[in-house]
Homo-oligomer: A and B are copies of this chain.
Amino acid sequence: MALMMPTVDRRTLFGVALALFTLGAAAVPTAAAEPLASWNEGAAKARIVSFVREVSDPRSRSYVAPAERIAVFDNDGCLWSEQPAYFQLAFAMDRVKALAPKHPEWKTTQPFQGVLEGDIKAVAATGERGLMELVMATHAGSTTEEFAASVRQWVKTARHQTLKRPYTELVYQPMLELLAYLRANGFKTYIVSGGGIEFMRVFAEEVYGVPPEQVIGSTIATKYELRDGKPVIVREPKLDFIDDKAGKPLAINKFIGRRPVMAFGNSDGDFEMLEWTTAGTGPRLAAIVHHDDAAREFAYDRDSHIGKLRRGLDEGPQRGWLILSMKDDWKAVYPAPAR
């Protein structure tokens, strides 16, 4: 399929760009010149590139007007890693440690005790209810601005336990290039994730180039109140919406109000989002990032407790969904470490 990729002479392109620039026009975006540099040549890359070319070519029968070019991406396991546990859980546990001096009772109450003592088994034993308590205790009670500040601080200082890098460097270089490539071709890129909407918004613009208004996620209830005459929005310990599974198309409908043209996920939590996307008329492309790269990232699918992928592997191919192999389709996984 490598034949489908045009040979690009960079000097020629530079010459054309320079000429256009001299004439006063906008420079040719370099993303369009060499798209998806960290993707291996192969069927997956070729299919993405040919799809994008067709929908953005006004002469094509598959042309899609720019306003309708919506692409949605899951976050955990699709744009950044999610092992050995969702990164937002690491944030919650770090917050428990930071807030512990104000909560002496946590020393003897699960799941907090387990977090403080590093006893993950004890935390896990509290089940979903315990996890919810962790999230509520660490994500609620503050104003939106205080919460954002705590996430900002954590993103700056926290490191992944085994990979020893900041979490925001554990993003997938090929997906960063894909996001940029789609935007260069008139797409509006959205994140549609089970993660917390206000957690992701803190770093999504800088890390992914996705502005807050294009980040959709799970939400907790909020209330508006005046503190010393100044209005604040307070995060309440009450779940508002879980943006997972069938919740994803519902959130897409609520926040965007258009059906996406492209959808990317990695787990069965994304199944309905991909199903909803590809059920639309006209050209649609859905793809699943398959974690099959134990050497460079992690290998997990059908039986994983996080990012379980079973139905997507069974039904995806017959539905025409692309299964992306991290091992085979990606030249690199993470960006080169900053020096």
Contacts and interface: CB of A to CB of B under 8 A. Distances in A.
Contact of A253 (B20, B222, B272): B222
Interface in A31-48: none
Nearest to A26: B26
Given A24-B23, A24-B24, A231-B276, A213 B258 contact: yes
A174 interface: no
A222 B252 CA distance: 12
B279 A230 contact: yes
A275 interface: yes
Contacts of A250: 222-224, 233
Contacts of A255: 213, 255
Interface string A242-262: 000010011001111110000
A201 B257 CA distance: 8
Contacts of A163: none
Copies of this protein in the complex: 2
A177 to B, nearest CB: 21
A334 B201 CA distance: 39
A294 interface: no
B224 A249 contact: yes
Interface in A50-77: 67
A231 B275 contact: yes
Interface string A184-217: 0000100000000110010001000001110100
Contacts of A219: 254
Nearest to A225: B246
A144 interface: yes
A11 to B, nearest CB: 23
A8 interface: no
A231 B197 CA distance: 25
B257 A198 contact: yes
Contacts of A246: 223-224
A257 B224 contact: no
Nearest to A202: B257
Contact of A24 (B25, B253, B256): B25
30 contacts: A20-B24, A23-B24, A24-B24, A25-B25, A67-B205, A188-B213, A197-B254, A197-B257, A201-B257, A211-B258, A212-B256, A212-B257, A212-B258, A213-B213, A213-B256, A213-B257, A213-B258, A219-B254, A222-B250, A222-B254, A223-B246, A224-B249, A224-B250, A224-B276, A230-B279, A231-B249, A231-B276, A233-B249, A233-B250, A255-B255
Contacts of A215: 257
Interface string A218-229: 010011100000
Contacts of A230: 279
**Would you list the 9 A-B pairs with minimal beta carbon distance, nearest first?**
A212-B257, A24-B24, A224-B246, A23-B24, A24-B25, A213-B256, A201-B257, A231-B279, A222-B250
Given A219-B254, A224-B249, A272 B25 contact: no
Interface string A96-128: 000000000000000000000000000000000
